[in-house]
Structure 1
Amino acid sequence: MIVKKLPFLVLGFVGLGLGFVGAVLPLIPAFPFLMLAAYSFARCSERLDRWFRGTRLYCDNLEDLVGGRGMTRAARRRVMGAVTLVMAVGFTLMALKGLVVPCTVLFAVWLGHMLYFAFGVRHREEDGEAAAA
């Protein structure tokens, strides 16, 4: 039983660590790593899942999306900007080496991310927007 849960435990803490770094440094996107942590902790242990869902990192970045309430425009812009920046660095480095196929694949992945966050993620009004309307 422990052997089956150990990989999820390790992935959860790796995702949590990288998500924390991504929340502090704008060059690393926190969102995908926090999603990895949420999934891994949920598969590993109810206690870890409850703990992670109670952290400020989860509440600030994932709670509304996972709860089906969507993301604010600011949160979507932050995620899309971070993803674009990270992928642009990889794209540029590969383009300088003349790697056409990997650049094409990375562009397709980037485009998929942009379309998902633009049309697939539900928009949630920010507190100030709802009051002003």
Structure 2
Amino acid sequence: MNSLKQTLWLSAGLISVGLGFLGAFLPLLPTTPFMLLAVFCFARSSQRLHDWLINHRQFGAAIRDWNENGAIALKVKTIAVASMVTVLAISFMFGVPFPVIIIQVITLGAVATFILTRPSV
């Protein structure tokens, strides 16, 4: 049973890394939350993958900042909020239906509020 749990945590971690990697290139898919989820999953399944992600050249610093201080780098906050505004502007330009715009405004507003209220490093 323990092996099954470990396999499930490992699978969830690998899927999270994959989604996080895609999020580095797709504006609607967030990278950092998936990498944080992957670290959480790897902590329960693979010390080697956990250490690899914590020390990763691209993602490691953000993960360590979050784990140690619950903080997000100011540069990351700026990029995140700018991406959200860009996505919303693109939705307006393409004439996305108004109810969808409202959902985006509420969702992106909540996410932006969360990001901006975290401590900065």
The residue that corresponds to 2:107 in the other structure is 109
1:123 paired with 2:120, answer yes
CA RMSD after TM alignment: 2.9
Question: Contact (CA 8 Å) 2:72, 2:115: kept in 1 or not?
Answer: no
The residue that corresponds to 1:76 in the other structure is 77
CA distance in 2, matches of 1:59, 1:11: 19
1:17 paired with 2:14, answer no
Identity of aligned residues (%): 21
- In the alignment of these two chains, the number of paired residues is 118
Question: What residue ranges of structure 2 are gaps of 5+ in the alignment?
Answer: none
Q: Deviations over 1:44-80 (max 9, x none)?
A: 2333322321222332432212210722321111122
1:83-94, aligned counterparts within 5 Å? Answer: 83-85=84-86, 88=88
Alignment CA distance shift 1:71-1:104 (3 Å): same
Q: TM-score, normalised by structure 2?
A: 0.73
Q: Which letter does structure 2 place at the counterpart of 1:122?
A: P
CA distance in 1, matches of 2:65, 2:44: 20
Question: Contact (CA 8 Å) 2:62, 2:73: kept in 1 or not?
Answer: no
Classify the secondary structure of the residue corresponding to 1:56. Answer: coil
CA distance in 2, matches of 1:66, 1:84: 27
Deviates more, 1:63-72 or 1:8-17: 63-72
CA distance in 2, matches of 1:53, 1:66: 10
CA distance in 2, matches of 1:20, 1:52: 12
Alignment CA distance shift 1:5-1:106 (3 Å): farther
Question: Contact (CA 8 Å) 1:29, 1:82: kept in 2 or not?
Answer: no
Question: Contact (CA 8 Å) 2:54, 2:61: kept in 1 or not?
Answer: no
Classify the secondary structure of the residue corresponding to 1:67. Answer: helix
Q: TM-score, normalised by structure 1?
A: 0.68
CA distance in 2, matches of 1:46, 1:14: 17
CA distance in 1, matches of 2:95, 2:15: 26
